[in-house]
Structure formats: C-alpha cells, structure tokens
Amino acid sequence: MRYMAEKAGEDAEKWGIIGLIHDLDYELYPEQHCIMTEKILRENNWPEEYIRAVLSHGWGLATDIEPVSRIEKTIYAVDELTGLVATSALVRPSKSVLDMEARSVKKKWNDKRFAAGVNREVIEKGAEMLGVTLDELITDCILGMRQVAREIGLEGMRP
Ligand SMILES: [Fe+2]
C-alpha cells in the first residue's frame, strides 16, 4: 500500500496504516469479518475516511461499501493479489519476490487449484477500476512487495 501510494502521489503513511489494519478483526471474528473492524474503529473514533477504505476491501464479499476513491480501489485490487503473488513466490526455487516477474503470476492465473482461495475476478475488477492492465497491477504489486520482502518473509534464501 505504501508503494502504491507513492506511485499515485498520495500519503504513504495513511495508505500503509489502512493496509496494516484492514483485516483487524479476522483472527478473532472470521465470521464477522469487516463488521467487527467497523465497530472497533468507530468505538476508537477513527476517521470516516479510514473506516470506508478498510470496509471497501470487502466489497461484494463482506460489505456493500463500493470502492470509489483511489485508496479504496487500490486496497480492493491488491488484497487478493498479494496472496497470489506470495503463493507464486513460495513455489519458486528462490522462494523470493526479488527475482520474480509478473509472468510467473500470470502462469498461475487459470490454474484454479493453485492458491484456490484467491478470487481472480476481484483482482480483474480491481485493475479495471484503477484503469490499469492486469499486467501493470501485478508488476506494481510485486515491486511493492519487493520493498518489504524481508518483513513479509519473501526475501528467499540468505546466501
Ligand atoms: Fe479481509
């Protein structure tokens, strides 16, 4: 999210925080995903803009908050995609995003058994909303994940 914000000339700190908290409720309340997050954020007086952005990542799945702003469209588009990129990286010999390109992810696109939980339609819809091609979105997602490869465990083997 920080990478995507910088690319769009937006506030990386804000986008990063929204990315960080977007699944806040998932571990404790998987059955009430997004609903509990909204409750917690409201109780703690979070700004409406943050609440809307977080809820929009679950549009059509857990909420009816349609992504409208750039940040909303972005979190909606990359939430599922980061999962597919991460899984694609982990099956590589290097186990890393550092040497991975968009085509590695594209190869897995139509293999429904691979990362079966990742909703490809959501990613396609997200790219369309952002007005970018799927290839561009995947490339940006990889570039963003490379910047935090160590933190997310996708740096691969240490030499
Ligand atoms: Fe989620």
* Pairwise CA distance, residues 109 & 128, whole Å: 16
Task: Enumerate the β-bridge partners of residue 59.
Answer: 63
Please give the distance, rounded to the nearest whole angstrom, from the Cα atom of residue 102 to the centre of ligand 1. 23
Rounded to the nearest angstrom, the distance between the alpha carbon of 53 and the centre of ligand 1 is 12
Which three-class secondary structure state does DSSP give residue 118?
coil
Residue 129: closest CA among 85, 97, 83, 81: 81
pTM of the model: 0.95
How far away, in angstroms, is 61 Cα from ligand 1 center? 9
Sequential pLDDT tens for the chain (159 residues): 999 999 999 999 999 999 999 999 999 999 999 999 999 999 999 999 999 999 999 999 899 999 999 999 999 999 999 999 999 999 999 999 999 999 999 999 999 999 999 999 999 999 999 999 999 999 999 999 999 999 999 999 765
Distance 75 CA to ligand 1 centre (A): 10
Amino acid letter, residue 73? K
